[in-house]
Each structure stands twice: as C-alpha cells, then as structure tokens.
A = this chain, B = another copy of it.
Amino acid sequence: MQLTILGCHAATPRKNGQTTAQLLEIRGQLILIDCGEGTQMQLRKLGVKFARIQHIFISHLHGDHFYGLIGLISTFRLLGRSADLHIYGPKGIKEIITLQLKLANSWTDYALYFHELDHSEPEQLLDHEKFAVTTLPLKHRVYTNGFLFREKKSPRKINQDAVVTYGIDIADMENLKQGKDIRLADGTLLANALLTLDPEPSKSYAFCSDTAYLPKLADWVYGVNYLYHEATFLDMHQDLAKKTQHSTAAEAAQIAATAKVGQLILGHFSSRYPDRNEFITQAQKHFNNVHLAEDGKRFDW
C-alpha cells in the first residue's frame, strides 16, 4: 500500500497548506479519500493519471473535506474521461454535485455513481476483487465516516524450485495458489505446503477524520498496519476538542494503543500551533510509532 497526503490542515486552506485529501494505492488501484479545495492541483503536481482514480470516499460535508470534489468531477469531464467514477459520501452529496452540474449545463460524459451513506454502524461499501472498504462511523458535528481499507487474502505463491523438482503440470498451478494439495499421476499426494510459499500478509489502512474521541473505534481498526487519526488539538485545548467534536493528539494515540495498530499518522492540525513537535510528544505518552502528516508526504508498507 502507498498513502500520499495531499492535504492535512483543518478548517481552511493556508498559504502553503491544503485541507484534507489523501491518495491511497491499494493493489494497483488508486483511491481518493476526501477532497478539500485544490485537491485537483495537488494531483496534477504529483503527475497522477486522473483516469486511474475510480473511487472517491468523502468522510463528511464540511468544506475542508469536499469543496474540491465538484472541481475534480468537472475537470475529469473537460479532459475527456470515459471511465466510471464512484463517489461514496453522506446523504446530500448527490444533490450538491448534480445541482452544480445542472446550473453549469455541464453533465459528465462518463458514468458518475453516487453511493450515499447514512448508517450509524460499519457497513461494507466496496467488495473489490483485491480489497474491501468498510465505513467507520465517527462522532462529529455532522454525519461523518472514516473508512477501513483492507486487502483481501492473496493467493499462495508458487515455489518455482519445488514445482520443477516434482514435475508439476502447469494446469495445477491455479489449484496450488488456492492452497489445494496435488495428486501426481502415480497416486502420490503432495501437500500444498511442499509446493508453495506463504503469500504477503494482507495489508490494511484506516482513515479516521473528523471525530471526537471515540473509544469503540479501537475495536473497528484493531491491528491495522496504519491508522490515520485526526489530532486537531493539543492537551491545552481539550475543551475546544470536546466542544467542536475533534480529538487531541493524546486521544488519537490512545485509540492507536488500544487497537494495537502498527503505525499512527496524525493530521488535521489546527492552525493555532506553529510548532508541530508537541503533537508527537503528547501522542508518544500513549503510543510510540507516531508520524505527522505533511502535504506531499508518502507512506509505504
């Protein structure tokens, strides 16, 4: 998996800082998560081929998470896109987008599918051949979801030396990948483990923004490789976090610790803190593997 932070600032774009958007590459597919104003420029700067993005997940309808969506949809049309596009987001997102397309008299030539969300429990949104996406209903001032991306189990890997040694027919390769044992022409049964290697473990990523401290989230993201959790505030503004239904760095780290995730990425920083190191310090009181999001930063695993 590869995650690229396109923007990670709370509330409003800065002179040199974008609001929330992330690009996730999962098993060769590109997925856009949230789409703050200016996301299309960020994608251009990275040289991303727009047609590769076929699924866009929008957490909620605050501007710093979706005001760039209508522009991206329009640009896709103007550049002659033909690939389908699927948008997943809160109820109302279809009306907002289609009203703007209607008033601009600019319907898309490509198929645009809206998947509107309103459940308060996790639900599977996408069951792709290679991965699945599930909602993580969060706690915020408007209806908000995080998203859990989980690769499906990979087929077992053929042990090339072993299949040559045992003279396995090419017709059996698919069965081997599926974990089946093989019976040779002379009746010998060869255990699958003799002929294959363990596949790469399935990887996972959980995106959680925006949300107040939500302990049950730890169950839903248990053991993920990477957790992005918003950390709008530091301890000194705990009251503001509560009032605006955001989290502190310490709260994000508590979720990461309880969920025993691999790595924690903090983001959605309030503009009131010129020095971000304190986010690391406060988070590391609870969880060690902490990273700060930065526009343009990449995480590979």
Known contacts A12-B40, A12-B78: does B100 contact A96 (CB below 8 Å)? yes
A68 contacts which chain B residues (CB < 8 A)? 37
Question: Given A61-B103, A63-B104, A79 and B38 touching (CB < 8 A)?
Answer: no
A11 at the interface (CB under 8 A from B): yes
Q: Which interface residue of A12, A38, A74, A90 has the most chain B CB atoms within 10 A?
A: A12
Q: Is A44 an interface residue (CB 8 A)?
A: yes
Residue in B closest to A11 when the chains form the complex, CB atoms:
B78
A63 contacts B70, C-beta separation under 8 Å:
yes
Q: Is the CB of B62 within 8 A of A104?
A: yes
Residue of B nearest to A63 (CB): B74
> Which residues of B are found within 8 Å of A44, using beta-carbon distances?
13-15
B residues in contact with A45, CB < 8 Å = 15
Shortest CB-to-CB span from A23 to chain B, Å, is 16
Binary contact readout A95-120 vs B (1 if CB under 8 angstroms, 0 otherwise): 11001100111100000000000000
Question: In the docked arrangement, what's the CA distance between A141 and B106, Å?
Answer: 10
CB distance from A264 to the nearest CB of B (A): 27
Q: Which residues of chain B are near A215, meaning CB under 8 Å?
A: none
Q: Interface readout for A10-28 with B: 1 if CB under 8 Å, 0 if not?
A: 0111110000000000000
Whether A142 pairs with B63 at a CB distance below 8 angstroms is no
Q: Is the CB of B142 within 8 A of A105?
A: yes
A78–B62 CA distance with the chains assembled, in angstroms: 12
Number of A residues contacting the other chain (C-beta, 8 Å)? 34
**B-side contacts of A126, CB under 8 Å:** none
Q: Is A222 interfacial (CB 8 A cutoff)?
A: no
- Give min CB distance, A40 to chain B, whole Å: 6
Assembly CA distance A92 to B70 (angstroms): 16
Interface residues of A in 37-51 (CB under 8 A from B): 37-38, 40-41, 44-45
Cβ-neighbour of A62 out of B92, B95, B106 (below 8 A): B106
* Complex Cα–Cα for A62 and B99 (A): 12
- Is A175 interfacial (CB 8 A cutoff)? no
Once bound together, how far apart are the Cα atoms of A57 and B148, in whole Å?
42
Further 8 A-B residue pairs, CB within 8 A, beyond A13-B40, A38-B41, A103-B142: A12-B74, A13-B71, A15-B41, A37-B41, A63-B100, A63-B106, A67-B74, A99-B99
Measured CB to CB, the residues of A under 8 A from B are: 11-15, 37-38, 40-41, 44-45, 61-63, 67-68, 70-71, 74-75, 78-79, 90, 92, 95-96, 99-100, 103-106, 141-142
